[in-house]
Amino acid sequence: MSTTTPTTSPTSPEPTERPEDSSTGLVHKPAASMGLRIMATQGLQQFPEALRKLDPRHMWRSPVMFLVELGSLTTTVIAILDPSTFAVSLAIWLWLTVIFGNLAEAVAEGRGKAQAASLRATRSDTVARLLDDSGAETEVPSTQLKVGDRVVVEAGQVIPGDGDIIEGVASVDESAITGESAPVIREAGGDRSAVTGGTKVLSDRIVVKITAAAGESFLDKMISLVEGTSRRKTPNEIALSILLVSLTLVFVAAVATLAPMASYAGAPQELVVLIALLVCLIPTTIGALLSAIGIAGMDRLVRVNVLAMSGRAVEAAGDVSTLLLDKTGTITYGNRQASEFLPAPGTSPQELRDAARLSSLADQTPEGRSIVELALTQGANDGDLPRGAAFVKFTAQTRMSGVDLADGTQIRKGAGSAIAGWLGSNPDPEVSDAIDGISRTGGTPLIIGLKDAAGRTTVLGVVHLKDVVKQGMTERFAELRSMGIRTVMITGDNALTARAIAEEAGVDDFLAEATPEDKMDYIRKEQAGGRLVAMTGDGTNDAPALAAADVGVAMNSGTAAAKEAGNMVDLDSDPTKLIDIVEIGKQLLITRGALTTFSIANDIAKYFAIIPAMFVAAYPSLEGLNVMGLATPQSAILSAVIFNALIIVALIPLALRGVRFRAAAATDVLRRNMLIFGLGGVVVPFIGIKLIDLLVSTIPGIG
């Protein structure tokens, strides 16, 4: 599965941060080193914010880190009352543990605030031309607009608020929101009527009905989300927090019980040692990084121009098992394109090719242009324009286009019935068989007919038009299938056409001649089987299904009803973005699981560092458990505490960037995580604590 690469836009200020090559999955060293430099710079910038987060009113939201802060405060008091190198060192590193945990969250939030500042730069208070019931205009500040107000916007003016076009059609520059420089067409009466406040009208005049009050626009929602001000813990995050609190309570009880047992055994322990043991045993690593992982997941969505209304939607995307995808514009290019020329008996392929090209030069529809392009790829001469020729444009009434040559010859291209009426006869059986064959495969046949100067008529052959499946879609669907995700194509085509496209694209199922009710029924049936469903849509008729789906991605170009019904909005209006959203959701879940595995696994080394150090004086035989060969009990305890703090800093980049996603079955992902993060979580602390001990043991009063 290719890695999603952020576009350069106001919502993605650091396009170089993701170091992975989208085609190879390799990490380029220059990009990786640049990412580390950016991370270091962000860490220094956000360090004051990490200190401000030491406020207990903030810390209590993370019970694990709040307990570490209480331990740090207690150790500090002890170090002041009974100073020693060991106690002071412990106090310093315990405080650093808390600060480093806050730093992870601060850096994640700092990225969002940088994006929000960029977004605010695109938002300005504009003067709106408000229409009253009589049609008279009044200029008012955009901040005073209410839902239902109608405003006039002309070429060169900024749209004052989110709304739907109710009159007119215009070319709109949406680069301030999407980062794409190419203008888009927005018009009344269709599924592309929605406009966003802050974008600019480039041509014509439109009347917009405001659908969002000031402060509640999609731009305002995006700003609050990327800043983290409206972020709430997701269900999975809450569940993991409960698990972490439960583990913490277990270790608190264990350490509290250990104190009297140690005294009874003749090896009483200092309070600072018990605090150090507790901090090292509770899941501080994942407790410190949990919030940053969630914020970074939202951040990655924003960087691909997707606005998620909640973190719940991001998590649901990671658990999706059924994808409903529109055929047109998602799986196919959306316009039927010429795929082959089928000459009639007695007509050469070159003759049909050239006749098809000449008869399509005046047809400016996508189908007509595709016929010209196919003819050129098969060797037609682009400069071959007969003198004195009169070209006949395609119209919906005639359903034909063509050319009248100077010698009286006429060539026409069009639908079968239109050409038959023009020729005054039906095509030969061989041509009819070709037409039927194209129709059975879901294609569209166009007939090329000729009348010579004497009035004799001939059918030269047939052009096969077909929905062209986008390049790479088959491979992407295969990768989704390997992950256990089922793909379903939704189309209004008949079942025959739908089946042909579905087989070519490689989707698992299709829903033909789909109505809004059909979509709803399909979603409910999937959900009744315990599966999470995601779908895209842009029209008012898609709103019920978008609301029913677990992940409903509405196109920004769609109607306000669709955007209100969905729980995500794609600002680029790219239906294929749904596949990228699923990847980001899975990456979020994989990252959280991987770092949780690592956090729990790295406690093993701390047992071998601290437990022998605490009781070796009373039980010398415990020296055999000192497998790392740590210098002294004090250096062993301090080394474990230092490693516990430093590993948080080391994992911040991974928490923010996310564990690289690879399309694979759940069992393969679990096996990979256990090998890398489970085994790594066991081995790395042994090496790290030993290296730290070599340095710490040189400190007077410790070694």
Is 337 annotated to bind a ligand? Reply is no
606 is in an annotated binding site: no
Residue 399 assigned to a binding site: yes
Q: How many Å apart are CA 578 and CA 488, to the nearest integer?
A: 13
Q: Is 395 annotated as a binding residue?
A: yes
The rounded distance, in Å, linking the Cα atoms of 103 and 110 is: 10
Would you say 131 and 245 are in contact if contact means Cβ atoms under 8 Å apart?
no
Strand partners for 153: 206
Cβ of 551: how many Cβ atoms within 10 Å? 29
Q: Catalytic residue, from 162, 173, 326, 574: name it.
A: 326
Distance CA 426, CA 408 (A): 22
Strand order in the sheet with 194-195: 137-141, 127-131, 150-154, 205-210, 163-167, 194-195
**How far is 286 from 273, CA to CA, in rounded Å?**
22
Long-range pairs, 387-395, Cβ under 8 A, ≥24? 389/358, 391/361, 391/362, 392/362, 393/362, 393/363, 393/364, 394/362, 394/363, 394/364, 394/365, 394/368
Q: Which residue's entry shows tokens 């070319």? A: 171
Q: Is 542 annotated as a binding residue?
A: yes
538 is in an annotated binding site: yes
Amino acid at 515: T
- Alpha carbon distance 499, 507 (integer Å): 10
What one-letter code names the amino acid at 218?
F
All residues at 6 or more sequence positions from 112 whose CB lies less than 8 Å from its CB, including other chains:
225, 226, 227, 228, 295, 298, 299, 302
Q: Establish whether 326 is a catalytic residue.
A: yes
CA distance 610 to 335: 68
Q: How far, in Å, CA of 99 to CA of 91, rounded?
A: 12
Task: Check the annotation: does 367 bind a ligand.
Answer: yes
Question: Is residue 87 annotated as involved in ligand binding?
Answer: no
540 labelled binding-site residue? no
Strands 184-187 and 150-154, bridge-based pairing: unpaired
- The tally of CA atoms less than 13 A away on the side-chain side of residue 609 is 32
**Secondary structure E strands in 360-492:** 390-392, 400-404, 410-414, 444-451, 457-469, 486-490
62 in a labelled binding site: no
Contacts of 390 (CB under 8 A, 6+ apart): 403, 404
The answer to whether 473 is annotated as binding is no
Question: Which residue blocks in 53-159 are alpha helix, DSSP H?
Answer: 56-59, 63-81, 85-122
Q: Is the Cβ–Cβ distance between 640 and 280 less than 8 Å? A: yes
Annotated binding residues, as ranges?
Answer: 363, 367, 394-401, 413, 538, 542
**Residues identified as active-site:** 326
Annotated binding residues for ATP, as ranges?
Answer: 363, 367, 394-401, 413
Annotated binding residues for Mg(2+), as ranges?
Answer: 538, 542
